[in-house]
Every structure is written in C-alpha cells, then in structure tokens.
Amino acid sequence: MISTLNTIMQIRGASGANRLLYYFGRLPLVGKLVNDSVYSRTSVKKTFTVVVLILKIIWGFLTKFAYLGLIVYLPVVLAAKELTLPEQYDLYLQVLVLLSFGVGTVSNAIILEPKRDKYICVKLMRLPADKYMHAVLTLRALTFFIYFVPAMMVFAHVYSAPLWQGLLLSLLLSLWRITGEALHLWIFDSREIVLVKKNGLVWSAIGVGYLLAFVPLYTGNALMDMDGVMFNLPLSVALVVLGALSALYIARYPGYRNAVDAVTKIDDPLLDMGRMMKEANRKQVETQEKDFTSNQLRPGQFADKTGYAYLNAIFFSRHRRFLIQPIQRRLLIIGALFAAGLLILLTAPDTFSKLVQYIMSTLPMLVIVMSFTSIGERVCKAMFFNCDLSLLRYGFYRERSAVLSNFRVRLLRISGLNLIPAAAICVVVNVLILLSGENWGMTDTLIFSGAILGLSLFFSVHHLFMYYIFQPYSTELNVKNPFFSIMNSIVLGVGIICMQFQSTPAHFAVTVLLASAAYVLIALFLVYRYSAKTFRVK
C-alpha cells in the first residue's frame, strides 16, 4: 500500500507542481523566469513538488482552523456572547456535531466522489481500483484526524475545556466519518445509489443541518449538556467499535472497480470544474436552435438589407433573448414602480411628497440606476461568441471599413434599445414629480430628461467601446484583458463619486450631459482610430 500511496502522491505532486509553475509563469515580471523548458527539468520540478506538498499540508491545517473558527466558533460568539463560557461550549459542540457529524457525513464523503485524480490514476494509469481506494482512504482518514487535532485542541482551550477533549473529539469525528464512508459504500453496493451525486438530497441535508445548527443559537441555550453527551465512555466505545467494523468493511469490500467506474465517466462535468465553468459561460450566450422558428429561418425576410446591416439584422433578430427580454423586464419593473408610486399618492399623500423630495435630492443616484438599466455587456458577449469569434477569422471582417460599419450598425441598435427604458424612466419620474405639486418647471423637466437620455447613450457607447477597444473575451468567455475590468471599475467609481456631490438637479444634469458627450466623442474617436487594430480574437 505504501508504494501505491507513493505513486499516487507522485502523480498528484507532479500535476500540482505543473499547475503551480503554470500560474507562476503568468505572474508579471517573475513569470518571465518560467519558460516551457521548466516543465521538463526534473530537479526544478522535484523542488516544486516538495513545495506543493508543504503548502498542501499547511493548507490542510489552516482549513480546519478556518472551519472551526469561522463557521462554528464565530457564529456562536456573535449570537451568544452574553452566555457563560461552558454554555457557549455546549453551543459550539452542538453546532460542530450537527455540521461535522451530520451534514459532513452526507455531503463530504470521498469514497464515491467523482474526482479527476481518481480518473487519472485508475482509468488512465491503470492502478488497481482496490489498491487506489485503500491507499486514498487510509490517507484521508489519517490526515483528517491529524489536521483536526491542533484546531480542536486550540478551540477546546478557548473554552477552557481540557485539551484531551479536543483530541478525543478529533478521534471520534474521524471514526464516525469512516463509518459514514462505509455507509455510502454499503448504499451503493446494495442499491446502486451514489449518494453524493444526489444533489437534491445533499443540498437538503446541508440546508436542514445548517438551519438546525444555527437557528438555536438565537433561541438560547444548547438543547443538551453537550460535553456530557459527547465525552463519555459508552459513546466513545460505541464509536470506536463502529469505526473499526466500518474500516474492516471498507478494507474487505471486493467491488471497488465498480465503485470507481460509477463515478469516473469521462463526460461527468464534476470531474472537470474548468469545463463546467466554460460550458456555463457559453450557455449564457449561446444561440439555441429552439430559439428560432422555421419562420425565422425563411429566406428573403431581410431581403431589403445588405452587407453588415443584413448580418446584424439577422443577429439581433435571432438573439432576441438577450435584447428584447431584458428590455421588457426593465419596462415591467419601471411600470411596477410607477404603479406603486401612484398607489402611495392615493393612500398616503404625505409619504408621497417625502418620496418625491427624496427622488429630487438623490438625482446623482441615476448614474447607478442607468448603469443597471442599460443592456450591453451580455449583448457584447453574445456578439463575440456567436458572431465575431468566427467571422474575425476572415480577412474582410477585420478590415477597417468593415469593423467601423459593423460598429455603427450595432451602436445604433443598442442605443435605440436602451433609449426605450430611459424614455420610460423620464416619463415616470416627471409625471410623479408633477403630480406631487413640487416646484418643477418645464426647464427642469427638459434638463432632467436630457440627463437620463444622455446617460443611456453614455452606457450604450461605453459597453460597445470597451468591447471594440479592449476585446476582453477569450474563447472560453472569461474576461482576459485586465484593462477591461479596470476601466469598468473606474466608470462605476466615477458614478459613485457623483453620488456624493450634493447639487441642484440642473447642475447635475448639465454636468452629466457634458461628461457623457465628452466620453462619447472620445470613445467614438478611439474606435474610429484604433478598433481595426484592437478588434481581434486574442
């Protein structure tokens, strides 16, 4: 078994070291030290393997401290700090028992866990399944115990309980979890059910367990004298016997090949988080065939358009899901808020006039409101993934005139769409203010509306400008260009700073209009000058 364990550790170590080297290589400045030849230099890699191992061990201890500290200890302190220390200790133990003995046993069993490591070792490297499982489970049981001991003892000390209680608790928990593993295996063996993959069950267990654990914190004392319950001879003996029997069952179990096969199907998304994220990202913006009726595919329906107008007309018509629906949803919300406003006007006129005064005094908030009202980012993602990603491979699509004419068509479309909710907001806010009888003249109405429409235009240009100049998406659709995030944060930051300024509506509106106009002009100029160079698949 030691040699199997050694092999597994080597495989894990090598892939861990490769990953570490890979991310190290992505760091600025020092990353230059790592080039591709590093992966084949065994001595460097050995060092990295050891580093990874040490990091893993430290991480193992730290996570137990973090778990006990943040998830168990902290809530108890926050909720019940006026209780005496022994009472708090009872609560602490109660939460720990419910989470670690209860929830963890259901959700965190490794015996039937789908895992890349398992796939690599058993399926690809052809390690015998029983040997692999024995080694992994032994390692797990031992490290589980060892990692828990210091944290358990420290927290026992915090509650002025004897240290041996921490040690005993670690041991009992480890034994109980072995019993849990055996139970999972037994259920699989007799019913062919992989418990950890029953998401409904696992999440229900987690939900119920956490509720049971944390709700009583606010209702007073622990239900039982927990340290009395946990630390007595009969329970300890019972858990030791159970644990030993379970270990025996696990050691003697003959069908590990099946148990491994059941959870290492190559297409199991749980085996590969990266791919899962990628697919989730893609689904968000992917064209779906069922989105189109055969009517929509009818030839000649855009016959009046040509070239980029034709392309974009089809694109926007086939991606209504990203365009029309969000706009409808926004209109619905605006309508609902308007109705609520009217209702308040009818039922509680005093509150209503206060509300209107509030709206008038917090006009700068509109920057944030409009940033959420404008569609753009997801549309750009959809454009990239469904359209530009493929067409940018063609020389004609990368030509300056093509990029610009495409940009023009898209900008008009997005601005047009964004103007709809913007206009709705103008109407709603102006009507509400007029109804309230506040002092709000024609000029105010115009200036305010201008500011809203200006902001709407600003955000329309903003999203598209960012897309064309920074082209932040990779084929996996995760944002790759750091400037994209930085610029976005700056714009949001400016919005938040705006909110701090107290000024008259007229001042605010004029400032907004001027700032948006300046931004739009600069953005359009930059797109005009540089987009042909920057708008590429990276």
Partner 1 sequence: MQLILDNIRKSFDDKSVLKGIDFTFEKGKIYGLLGRNGAGKTSLFNCLSGETRMDSGGAFLRRDEVSLPLREEEIGYVFSLPILPEFLTGYEFVKFYMDINRDKIQPGKTIGDYFDIIRFEEEDRHRLIKGYSHGMKNKIQMLCFIITRPPLILLDEPLTSFDVVVALEIKKLLREMKQDHIIIFSTHILQLAADLCDELVVLNNGVLQEIPADILHSPEFEERIIALLKDGGEHD
**Of 143 and 287, which CB lies nearer to partner 1 in the complex structure?**
287
**Of 253 and 308, which CB lies nearer to partner 1 in the complex structure?**
308
Q: Which of 315, 440, 467, 519 binds partner 1 (CB under 8 A)?
A: 315
Around Cβ 63, how many Cβ atoms within 10 Å? 12
Q: Which of residues 372-391 bind partner 1 (CB under 8 A)?
A: 386-387, 389-391
Site string for partner 1, 273-292 (x = CB under 8 A): --------------x-x--x
Q: Which of residues 317-376 bind partner 1 (CB under 8 A)?
A: 318-319
Q: Please give the size of the binding site for partner 1, defined by CB under 8 A.
A: 31
Nearest distance in Å: CB 396, partner 1 = 6
Around Cβ 387, how many Cβ atoms within 10 Å? 20
Around Cβ 81, how many Cβ atoms within 10 Å? 8
**Of 259 and 380, which CB lies nearer to partner 1 in the complex structure?**
380
Q: Which of 199, 395, 441, 442 binds partner 1 (CB under 8 A)?
A: 395
CA-closest candidate to residue 264, choices 404, 63, 417, 124: 124
Give 388's DSSP letter.
I
Q: Which of residues 289-308 bind partner 1 (CB under 8 A)?
A: 289, 292, 297-299, 302, 306-308
Nearest distance in Å: CB 34, partner 1 = 11
Q: Does 143 bind partner 1 (CB under 8 A)?
A: no
For residues 513 and 519, give the distance between their C-alpha atoms in angstroms, rounded to a whole number.
Answer: 10
- Residue 79 structure tokens: 């909720």
CA atoms within 13 A on the CB side of 240: 9
- Residue 35 structure tokens: 């080039």
**Of 131 and 319, which CB lies nearer to partner 1 in the complex structure?**
319
Nearest distance in Å: CB 25, partner 1 = 10
Q: Does 31 bind partner 1 (CB under 8 A)?
A: no
Q: Which of 115, 123, 398, 408 binds partner 1 (CB under 8 A)?
A: 398
**DSSP-assigned beta bridge partners for residue 479:** 473
Nearest distance in Å: CB 88, partner 1 = 58
Nearest distance in Å: CB 286, partner 1 = 9
**Of 315 and 458, which CB lies nearer to partner 1 in the complex structure?**
315
For residues 445 and 427, give the distance between their C-alpha atoms in angstroms, rounded to a whole number.
Answer: 9
**Of 287 and 485, which CB lies nearer to partner 1 in the complex structure?**
287
Q: How far is CA 188 from the centre of its chain?
A: 31
Instruction: Print burial letters for 9-32: b (CB count within 10 Å at least 16), e (below 16).
Output: eebbbbebbbebbeeebeeeeeee
User: CB–CB of 281/132 below 8 Å?
Assistant: no
**Of 46 and 393, which CB lies nearer to partner 1 in the complex structure?**
393
**Of 218 and 292, which CB lies nearer to partner 1 in the complex structure?**
292
For residues 170 and 222, give the distance between their C-alpha atoms in angstroms, rounded to a whole number.
Answer: 21
> Of 14-22, 148-156, 258-266, 395-403, which segment contacts partner 1 by CB under 8 A?
395-403
Q: Which of 311, 327, 369, 510 binds partner 1 (CB under 8 A)?
A: 311
**Of 384 and 508, which CB lies nearer to partner 1 in the complex structure?**
384
Q: Does 402 bind partner 1 (CB under 8 A)?
A: yes
**Of 324 and 342, which CB lies nearer to partner 1 in the complex structure?**
324
For residues 484 and 482, give the distance between their C-alpha atoms in angstroms, rounded to a whole number.
Answer: 5
Helices 442-470, 505-534: crossing angle, 10 deg rounding: 20
DSSP of 31-96: GGG--GGGGG-HHHHHHHHHHHHHHHHHHHHHHHHHIIIIIIIHHHHHH-TTS-HHHHHHHHHHHH
- Which run of H or E residues covers position 171? helix 163-191
For residues 178 and 145, give the distance between their C-alpha atoms in angstroms, rounded to a whole number.
Answer: 11
**DSSP-assigned beta bridge partners for residue 473:** 479
> Of 32-40, 202-210, 217-225, 369-377, which segment contacts partner 1 by CB under 8 A?
32-40
For residues 407 and 532, give the distance between their C-alpha atoms in angstroms, rounded to a whole number.
Answer: 11
Nearest distance in Å: CB 190, partner 1 = 44
Q: Which of 290, 304, 396, 441 binds partner 1 (CB under 8 A)?
A: 396
The site for partner 1 (CB under 8 A) is made up of 35-37, 287, 289, 292, 297-299, 302, 306-308, 310-311, 314-315, 318-319, 386-387, 389-391, 393-396, 398-399, 402
